[in-house]
Amino acid sequence: MKSYRVEPGSRVKLAEWDPDDRTGFEGGKKKGTLELSKLRARLDELQALLYAEHRHKVLVVLQAMDAGGKDGTIRSVFEGVNPQGVVVTSFKVPTQLELDHDFLWRVHRHAPARGELAIFNRSHYEDVLVTRVHGLVDPDVCTRRYAQINDFERMLAEEGTTTLKFFLHVDREEQKARLQERLKDPRKRWKFRHADVEERKLWDDYMSAYEDALSATSTDWAPWHIVPANHNWYRNLHVVSAIVAALESLDMRYPPPQEGWESEVIV
C-alpha cells in the first residue's frame, strides 16, 4: 500500500498511476472484501480508543473527480464506527460570508478536536482545483496557496493532528460508466447534476491541476495517497489500511479509571 504514497518533492504524472491497479490482492474482490471486514473491525476499536484517550486528532481528506467515490468510501470504510467521535464535512460552493474571508477560514473551523476523527468530503484543495480550472484565480495565486496549505497543515500537525489525504483516482471511462449508472438507477438519480457533464469536458484541465496540487502539497506531515479507485473494494481496502496503520502508530492508551473504583459496589 505504501507504493501509492506520493513522496514529498516528487513530480506527479497521473498517466503513470493506474486507476485499475489491484496490486497485492490478486485473489480478487472476495479475498479483498474479507480483509476489508477485518480492517473495519480494527478501525472501530482504534476509533473508540482515540475518542476515549482524548489526546490525538485525525483528519482524513478525500478528493476525487465527480463520481470518483468519495461518498461510497465514507459509507463503506466507516461502517460500524461510533458516529459520536466522527465528524464528516462536505465542502460545497463557498457562501458569500466564506468568500469574504481567506480561503482557509471555512476549513479551519472544521478541523478535528481532540479525540475526533474528521473527514473532509472535498476540502481546501477545491481552491487550487476548481478555481484554477475555471480561471477564477491567477496561476500565481495557486502557487501562493500551495505554500499556505502546506503551512496550514504543518500547523495542524504541530498541534497534534494526523492528516491523511487521498486522491481517489478513476479513469475517464469509469467516470462515464458511473455517471450513466446515476441516470439509469432511480435510487441514484438524485445525485446527478447537469454540471457534472460540463465539468467532464474539462477532464484534461483537472488532471493538470491535480498533478500540480499533488506534487506541491504532499509533505512529510500531510502526505497524499493516489488510490486506484476503478474498483470500489480495492479503493476502500487501501483507505482503511492507511487509516488503521496511522492510528496504530499513535500508540494510544485508555485513560486510567477514576480513583477508588475498586471499592465501588453497584446496588
Q: Read off the CATH number of the domain in which 138 is found.
A: 3.40.50.300
CA angle 228, 234, 238 (to 5 degrees): 80
pLDDT reported for residue 259: 84
Structural domain includes residue 260: no
Phi, psi dihedral angles at 91 (to 5 degrees): -95, 120
pLDDT reported for residue 44: 96
Structural domain includes residue 266: no
pLDDT reported for residue 11: 97
Task: Report residues of the chain scoring pLDDT below 70.
Answer: 1
Task: Tell me if 218 sits within 8 A of 7, measured CB to CB.
Answer: yes
Task: Tell me if 211 sits within 8 A of 14, measured CB to CB.
Answer: yes
Task: Tell me if 150 sits within 8 A of 219, measured CB to CB.
Answer: yes
If you average pLDDT over every residue of the chain, what do you get?
A: 94
Structural domain includes residue 256: no
Residue 204 cell numbers, joined? 484534461
pLDDT reported for residue 1: 64
Structural domain includes residue 264: no
- 209 forms beta bridges with none
Structural domain includes residue 265: no
Task: Tell me if 215 sits within 8 A of 9, measured CB to CB.
Answer: no
Structural domain includes residue 132: yes
86-90, strands of its sheet edge to edge: 86-90, 117-121, 57-64, 161-169, 224-228
One-letter amino acid for residue 154 of the chain: R
- 30 forms beta bridges with none
pLDDT reported for residue 205: 97
**Residue 16 CA to its chain's centroid (Å):** 21
Structural domain includes residue 43: yes
Closest CA to 217 of 7, 4, 3: 7
pLDDT reported for residue 267: 82
Share of the chain above pLDDT 70, in %: 99
**Domain region containing 100:** 2-249
**Alpha-carbon distances of 13 from 117, 139, 212, rounded to whole Å:** 30, 19, 9
Structural domain includes residue 152: yes
**Domains held by the chain: number:** 1
